[in-house]
Chains A and B, each alone.
Chain A
Amino acid sequence: MLDNLGEDKSIYLQISEMIEDEILRDILREEEQVPSTTELSKFYKINPATAAKGINLLVDKDILYKKRGIGMFVQAGAKEKIMEARKKSFKETYLKKLITEAKLIGITKNDLKRLIDEITD
């Protein structure tokens, strides 16, 4: 059973994104220890191999690193790395959907600009 994991993405991706979110939100700080694969799998009731895949993805991205015999830790500079990567994919992941919906319901570019101003105030 998944606590708040959705059905829309591979579970290991959700795990890695969740950890990235926590890093962005300073819930997990640099050089802090990250929950182990076993702890994650027990908490989210997922296969430990899946949890491990999510963690290893972050290790490959240089977001986490392993301290032998102790566990996984947040890499220095991880937050910046995540922000850079997310900025690059922002257009694909969020904007495209927004524009499609806007087009569907007839919101123009100017409407959009006005709305953005309204919200960010």
Chain B
Amino acid sequence: MSTLSGKNIVKKYGKDTVLKNVDVEIEAGKIYGLIGRNGAGKTTLLSILTAQNPATEGTVTLDGKPVWENEEALSHICYSREISQVTMFGPNTLKVKDYLGTAKAFYANWDEEYAKELIKLFNINPKKRINKLSKGMLSAVTIIVAMASKADITILDEPVAGLDVVAREQFYKLVIDEYAATGRTFVISTHIIEEAASLFEKVIIIDDGQIMIEENTEELLARAYRVSGEETSVDAAVRDFKTYHPESIGRNKVVTVLADEPVDGFAGDVQVEPVPLQNLFYAMCVDGRKEA
């Protein structure tokens, strides 16, 4: 098992630079969370890492060897993304079983038994056509492809998007079961952060085409703090640190701090609390971009 790594990746669509010098390393045997706002470049990055989209500049390698058009590399990777219910010519009338049949044809390690179990678990009718599926069933099909591919590096792009909370929990449990049994690498991009945060050994935060964080989740959260109190006390206490999203109400001020290292304590009369991943992400990205 090896590292999938992207170096200096730049992606431009015409004049629009969607990814700006991105460096990312996906180490083997870990569960990664990829979080970012809509349009931050998550899907573009994942497409490039899996050679489904050419980068304008930069290289993508698996175990040191380029992934582009590389049979060996591609056979270790599965990128399961949202299935479109409309094609350019009308509704997508492909049947679920044909879609899964194509997956079976291409993924060398496809596990048909496992796929059948999952079809039952998510209660999918394989004869149904893709344009007739509900949002939840659509997500379920992408999950089935990802899990049954048994690929060493499995990437899921917003797998829980259409799922209700019960189905989401089933998904998380599936990932843990599979990871515990096989140690496959998972990269999961999601907007529903807090639920999944405890699943991610490492987290990658992308904003506006740049990687802001690529770190072990626990280590990241160990150096994040929510500091609150009287305005001047807070300002004094956080003076030497990187802060995000300050908010005030009356004389009370709250700010999110991301220190370089875990801090023993903050000077002065301030309240210090830990920051959940979702809140940290929010604080880091909310003020970042200029809204269109």
Contact = CB atoms under 8 A, between A and B. Distances in A.
Contacts of B30: 49
A47 to B, nearest CB: 5
Contacts of B169: 1, 45
A12 B221 CA distance: 13
Given A7-B276, A10-B218, A38-B180, A47 B200 contact: yes
A26 to B, nearest CB: 28
Given A38-B180, A45-B176, A7 B274 contact: yes
Given A7-B274, A12-B218, A45 B199 contact: yes
Interface residues of A, number: 20
A95 interface: no
Most buried by A among B172, B177, B180, B198: B198
Interface residues of B, number: 20
Nearest to A11: B198
B98 interface: no
Interface in A91-121: none
A45 B221 CA distance: 18
Interface in B155-201: 169, 172-173, 176-177, 179-180, 195, 198-201
Contacts of B180: 37-38, 41-42, 48
A46 B199 contact: yes
A47 B216 CA distance: 12
B115 interface: no
A49 B200 CA distance: 10
Contacts of B218: 10-12, 50
A60 interface: no
A54 B195 CA distance: 20
A10 B219 CA distance: 9
Contact of B201 (A2, A7, A38, A50): A50
B176 A2 contact: no
B222 interface: yes
Interface of B: 30-31, 169, 172-173, 176-177, 179-180, 195, 198-201, 218, 221-222, 273-274, 276
